[in-house]
Amino acid sequence: MTTPHILMCPPDHYGIEYEINPWMSRTRGASPDHARQQWRNLHDTLVQLGVQIELMTPQPGLPDLVFTANAGLVFGNRFFSSQFTHPERQCETPHFDAWFAAHGFTVEYLPEGVYFEGAGDALFCGPTLYAGYRIRSHAAGHIHLGNVLQRMVLPLELVDKRFYHLDTCFCPLAPGQAIYFPGAFDNYGRTVLEKHIPHLIPVIESEAERFACNAVVVGKKVVINAGSDRLAADLHAAGYECHFVKLDEFIKAGGSAKCLTLRLDGEDAAVWGD
Ligand code: ARG
């Protein structure tokens, strides 16, 4: 196995400075010390699992830059830059683009006016791109990517505002295997998932609310926010080992383990080759 490679950004300027999803409330601010400690634990857990971490430089005034999953979509050495819905996050783009350009990626853009929030909403499971739309990303952007990459795209409408990015309610584990929270999708979306992914592990609502689906998968190890015992048991039965890291300071912003990372070499569940 080649060394898994992940991009993170230290939480030096992290905080709840605006409200762009139902989890965020300026009256419930984050504790900088706890956030720093929790982020460090996630970082160190990934390093222990053999992951090589790259670090972005934190920027003042960009509290959500820690959520590197939203930088864009990585495919080989191509980086498809996000086009954020909210002005509050749009200033992150030049920083992400500069990092990718400086690290040997070709930076590419979606058509103008199309919203797209990167690996938060676009996740490969096997050769297929599963694509969340309506709340943060437009379906048109996903279709565009499918054409450019010559991959099948399955757009999934996100119907519950709490699960506003696909990576808050769906997590590929391996080709043909994924975790999901059924309540975040409509009947059509659930049917699409059931039809295309033979091994689906459902998450109960109380654990989905703790961001159980927002997991970092490294081979057979799954790193998630603490407190999802039911999912841990189901994952164990499926041959996976859970590593819990307390990340409640980041849930205050609507993110957890997966959002704080961006896989640079392709998720284990993704099949990019022809
Ligand atoms: N506060 C950030 C936002 O609302 C959180 C992003 C979480 N990222 C994710 N990939 N789900 O945009």
Average pLDDT of the segment spanning 183-203: 98
Q: Does domain 5-269 have CATH number 3.75.10.10?
A: yes
55-104 pLDDT tens trace: 999 999 999 999 999 999 999 999 999 999 999 999 999 999 999 999 99
pTM for the predicted model, two decimal places: 0.97
pLDDT at 274 (0 to 100): 54
Looking at the chain, which runs of residues are DSSP E strands?
Answer: 5-8, 52-55, 72-75, 78-81, 106-108, 122-125, 128-133, 153-157, 170-174, 177-180, 199-202, 216-218, 221-225, 241-245, 262-263
Average pLDDT, the chain: 97
Segment 215-232 shows an average pLDDT of: 97
Answer whether 21 contacts ligand 1 (Cβ < 6 A).
yes
Q: Looking at residue 272, what is its pLDDT?
A: 74
Q: Residue whose CA is closest, atom 6 of ligand 1?
A: 255
Instruction: Find the farthest-apart pair of alpha carbons in the chain and give their distance in angstroms, rounded.
Output: 50
The active-site residue out of 43, 138, 142, 165 is 165
Terminal Cα-to-Cα distance of the chain (whole angstroms)? 19
Q: What is the pLDDT of residues 5-37, one digit of tens each?
A: 999 999 999 999 999 999 999 999 999 999 999
Predicted pLDDT at 1: 59
pLDDT of the residue at 264:
98
Gap from CA of 67 to ligand 1 centroid (Å):
6
Position 2 confidence tier, pLDDT thresholds 50, 70, 90:
confident
* Pocket flag, ligand 1, residue 253 (CB < 6 Å): yes
**237 Cα–ligand 1 center, Å:** 30
CA of 56 from ligand 1 middle (Å) equals: 17
Distance CA 17, CA 141 (A): 28
- Residue 136 CB less than 6 A away from ligand 1: no
Whether residue 259 lies in the annotated active site: yes
Give the domain ranges of the chain: 5-269
Tally of residues, the chain: 274
Q: Is the pLDDT of residue 184 over 80?
A: yes
Q: Which residue(s) pair with 222 in the sheet?
A: 217, 242
Q: What share of the chain in percent tops pLDDT 90?
A: 98
Q: For residue 273, is pLDDT > 70?
A: no
- Whether ligand 1 lies within 6 angstroms of the CB of 255 is answered as yes
For residue 211, the CA-to-ligand 1 centroid distance in Å is 12
What tokens does 202 get? 């459902």
Q: Which residues contact 63 (CB under 8 A, 6 or more apart)?
A: 13, 14, 15, 16, 17, 253
Question: What would the pLDDT profile of 241-266 be if each residue is shown by its tens digit?
Answer: 999 999 999 999 999 999 999 999 99
